[in-house]
Structure 1
Amino acid sequence: MPANHDHHKVVIVGAGAAGIATAASLIARDPSLDIALIDPADVHYYQPGWTMVGAGVFQAPSTARPMQSVIPRGVRWIQAHVQGFDPSGQTVLLAGGRAISYEQLVVCPGLKLDWQAIDGLAQTLGRNGVTSNYRYDLAPYTWQLVRSLKQGRALFTQPPMPIKCAGAPQKALYLACDYWRQNGRLGQVKASFCTAGNVLFGVS
């Protein structure tokens, strides 16, 4: 690759909703801006939509797009894994040894979920009435559970920070309860919300 392609005025690590939105905002303000977006994925997932999948509002495939189709026009996509950072040298180190230098760096690679941190969780997710809207393949199972529950207890949990979206567990609760209300089941379904924090929204 030509040497001048190894340096960009702005380098953004992560092409999730945050990275794409940041790139789009910057290029809209200054179309001449030299921006590179680094992400290895072939598919961009709109993760906030998964709560709506779990509520039967969206279909899961509508939350997935080819990565190339969501990269803002004028932004260079570097499809690679980031291996590390060299702040003193203002470079991002890619797998394979390549380095990309920058003037400004935005780091938003997202969070990696640790399902193994809860004993037995990984083995039971997607079955036995256990689900999570934090995974593309599980959100449809959430909707299946909401639709099929006629009576009994529905337990919603919110883990401690840091989490991908603090509102997602609450949205799952509200949307599920609304479905049960509309279908005359809310009296028979007892919903409980268990949060690891002392407050719902991070403020007293």
Structure 2
Amino acid sequence: MLAAKFASRSSMRQSWSRLMTTAASSPSSSYKLVVVGGGAAGLAVSSTLADKLGKNEVAVIEPSPVHYQQPLFTFVGGGLKDFNDTYRPTAEVVSPNAQLIPQAAAQINPESNTVTLSDGSTVSYEYLVVATGIELNFGGIKGLQDAIGKNGVASNYSPKYVQNTYEFLQNVTSGNALFTMPATPIKCAGAPQKIAYLADELFREKGIRDRVNVNYYTALGKIFAVDKYANAMNAIAKSRDVNVNLFHDLVEVDGPAKKATFKILGDGARTGDIVTVPYEFLHVTPPMKPFDFIKNSKIANAAGYVDVNQATLQHNRYPNIYSLGDCSSLPTSKTAAAAAAQSKVLKSNLLAQIRGDAAPSAEYTGYTSCPLVTGKHKLVLAEFSGYTGTPQETFFFNQANEHAFSYWLTADLLPEIYWNSMLKGTWSGPAPIRKFANPTSIN
């Protein structure tokens, strides 16, 4: 593990050097299109638009020297994938036709069509796409920042701590293994429970499952938002003796004492009660929030997300601004699958606007997907509209059932699609496949 972490830090330093070299050769501070964010959503858009608009007409503002394929973090935490498979230098995944600006955005100024960078300089745009993702708020839980990475506390949501998950799980011999889900919107809302099933399987393989209590604590009132998949996950949790505790929000971690404290939410008789639980292992999904520079800008809604039309992804007040992915106000689950589908709509509408062809007319219907890993070679492939809660399954079989094919698709095929197609702007989801593989499904 230490060797992997060292290799990761070495790669980051090399990547940062490449980024700074690229920035030093920047030919302009004004662009036809500026994309704020070099994650999956931002690259899916910028790669296509850079090809369509021509070299150096598109700039990508992204401070991280490394791009992570975050959907793989669950597999790393469960000991099923190597951490080194999850990242590549940012400079290598940004389109060669786009200009990479390796700084953080500090302010978006929609009235002047500029973005202020962390060094105080500004970049001008004719059109803007905001795709920053959302911020992990480890400081939102008392004591968590001091405990995480030690004291048996890990999180698959951070590249800094994901390798601790499998390491700490292997050290468990008895006691309580806790897995948490916060009350805030988060990216990949299925991930908090996926690692619980992988841990259960690991404990069974080691022959210690009868000595370990696997407990899933969610601040929400359901194990999953869509009833079809909620029913499936409740049945799986029951069959594995995973104890599901609804309306329990993690509010404090005492690392040295190995205790986790929860506040009971909802409107029941115990609402507001405080419950403290000892643990041997604690997997924390941190609360998440919009980045402050977006929340405090004129492009945000009251909740701090970029205020866009949920069908066209165009800003509700500034027509030359669009947004997609986790930072947008789109009322659907925040996943890479959702970003892929959104990118097709956004690119169609933005290109039409740039060319003066027509008003934005392509519409996003809320499609998203959450592959729920339940063990080695077992997975429930949830696909649905976050707008309606209606399943939109790609394949002819019942995807609420655990299936080895769904596991292979998620663990082996989709990572290749991610690197070789989505980040290059050529993958926008399985809708074309669905027409043949499951023609009776709702599109």
TM-score normalised by structure 1 residue count: 0.85
Say whether residues 1:66 and 2:55 are aligned partners.
no
| Aligned counterpart, 1:39 | 62
| Aligned counterpart, 1:141 | 164
CA distance in 2, matches of 1:132, 1:3: 37
Q: How does 1:121-132 map to 2 (within 5 A)?
A: 121-132=144-155
Q: How does 1:47-62 map to 2 (within 5 A)?
A: 47-62=70-85
| Aligned counterpart, 2:222 | 199
| Aligned counterpart, 2:139 | 116
Q: Structure 2 vs 1, CA of residues 24 and 150 (structure 1 numbering), >3 Å: closer, same or farther? A: farther
CA distance in 2, matches of 1:162, 1:103: 31
CA distance in 1, matches of 2:171, 2:217: 22
Q: 1:67: how far off?
A: 1.5
CA distance in 2, matches of 1:82, 1:130: 31
Q: Structure 2 vs 1, CA of residues 188 and 21 (structure 1 numbering), >3 Å: closer, same or farther? A: farther
Contact 1:39 1:80 in 2 (8 A): yes
CA distance in 1, matches of 2:88, 2:155: 21
CA distance in 2, matches of 1:103, 1:171: 42
Say whether residues 1:88 and 2:114 are aligned partners.
no
Q: Choose 122-131 or 174-183, whichever is displaced more.
A: 174-183
Q: 1:106: how far off?
A: 1.4
Q: Structure 2 vs 1, CA of residues 3 and 169 (structure 1 numbering), >3 Å: closer, same or farther? A: closer
| Aligned counterpart, 1:175 | 198
CA distance in 1, matches of 2:174, 2:118: 51
Contact 2:26 2:99 in 1 (8 A): no
Q: State the AA in 1 paired with 2:203.
A: W
Q: Structure 2 vs 1, CA of residues 136 and 3 (structure 1 numbering), >3 Å: closer, same or farther? A: closer
Q: Structure 2 vs 1, CA of residues 21 and 173 (structure 1 numbering), >3 Å: closer, same or farther? A: farther
Q: State the AA in 2 paired with 1:66.
A: P
Contact 2:31 2:58 in 1 (8 A): yes
1:104 pairs with one of 109, 124, 127: 127
Q: Structure 2 vs 1, CA of residues 130 and 2 (structure 1 numbering), >3 Å: closer, same or farther? A: closer
Secondary structure at the aligned position of 1:192 is classed as strand
Q: 1:2: how far off?
A: 10
Secondary structure at the aligned position of 2:108 is classed as strand
Q: How does 1:18-33 map to 2 (within 5 A)?
A: 18-27=41-50, 30=52, 32=54
Q: Choose 62-71 or 96-105, whichever is displaced more.
A: 96-105
Q: State the AA in 2 paired with 1:115.
A: F
Say whether residues 1:6 and 2:29 are aligned partners.
yes
Contact 1:31 1:74 in 2 (8 A): no
Q: Structure 2 vs 1, CA of residues 2 and 134 (structure 1 numbering), >3 Å: closer, same or farther? A: closer
- The superposition leaves residues 143-184 of structure 1 with CA deviations (integer Å, 9 ceiling, x where unpaired) of 012223233321100112232332221221122223334444
Q: State the AA in 2 paired with 1:100.
A: V
| Aligned counterpart, 2:19 | none
Greater Rg by CA: 2
Q: State the AA in 1 paired with 2:141.
A: I
TM-score normalised by structure 2 residue count: 0.42
CA distance in 1, matches of 2:40, 2:174: 37
Q: 1:133: how far off?
A: 1.2
Q: 1:3: how far off?
A: 10
Structure 1: gaps (5+ residues): none
Q: State the AA in 2 paired with 1:195.
A: T
2:188 pairs with one of 160, 165, 185: 165
CA distance in 2, matches of 1:31, 1:142: 43
Q: Structure 2 vs 1, CA of residues 138 and 2 (structure 1 numbering), >3 Å: closer, same or farther? A: closer
Secondary structure at the aligned position of 1:5 is classed as coil
CA distance in 1, matches of 2:224, 2:48: 27
Q: State the AA in 2 paired with 1:109.
A: T
| Aligned counterpart, 2:371 | none
Q: State the AA in 2 paired with 1:87.
A: P
State the identity %.
38
